[in-house]
Amino acid sequence: MKKETREGSYLVYKTSSDYAPYSLVYRYKGSVIHSPILSSQRSSHAYTLNGVSAPVLYKLINYYNENPINEDCVLEYPIEDKESNLSNCAITSSDSTGDPLKNELCFTRGTLITNISRRSNKWCVGDHRGDRQKFFPTSEVRFLKKDELQYIKQLVSEIYMHMYIIHVYAVLGFR
């Protein structure tokens, strides 16, 4: 968390407490804030953070992806948990059978999934286009190595530059 300086950067990690089995750490106004995520096994809303409850942890975090957790601070930049041993991006190896109504990602072969975090041995959540933190099976993806990810970022940057040049030529009337 020390290296990540963007406001809204966050990490959820497991604790040893039964009362607060998870904790949220996020950056707000230059400070690092620790907030325990409370658990209630007797309620259908099992997880609570700052008075907001949800039946599952990812729904609670998704709430704060869209609503401020502290005045004007929204959780925007997930930080990879070092214990997960996962790259933060993956490429899909086949078409999905996901059902978007059940909070699963739908994708075609070659789709890039970002902001990945593990939920179990067989499932992760990640982002693709407008879909944020939806489930997908780990068996359907190949996690990218850092050098592969750097190469893809460079290609995307070059593609956007070429699209911009073509747009400028079209606006100015060049052929």
DSSP one-letter string for 54-88: ESSHHHHHHHHHHS-SBTTB---EEPPPGGG---S
Phi/psi for 148 (5° steps) reads -65, -40
pLDDT tens track, the chain, 175 positions: 556 678 888 888 777 777 788 888 899 988 889 999 998 766 656 789 999 988 878 888 889 989 999 888 999 888 755 443 345 677 777 777 666 556 788 888 778 888 788 877 788 888 887 777 888 888 888 887 777 777 776 776 677 666 666 655 566 565 5
- Kindly give the pairing relationship between strand 89-92 and strand 47-49: unpaired
Query: Is the CATH code 1.20.1090.10 the one for domain 82-143?
Result: no
Cα(3)–Cα(159) distance, integer angstroms: 30
State pTM to two decimals: 0.47
Class of domain 9-78: alpha beta
Total Cβ atoms within 10 A of residue 154: 10
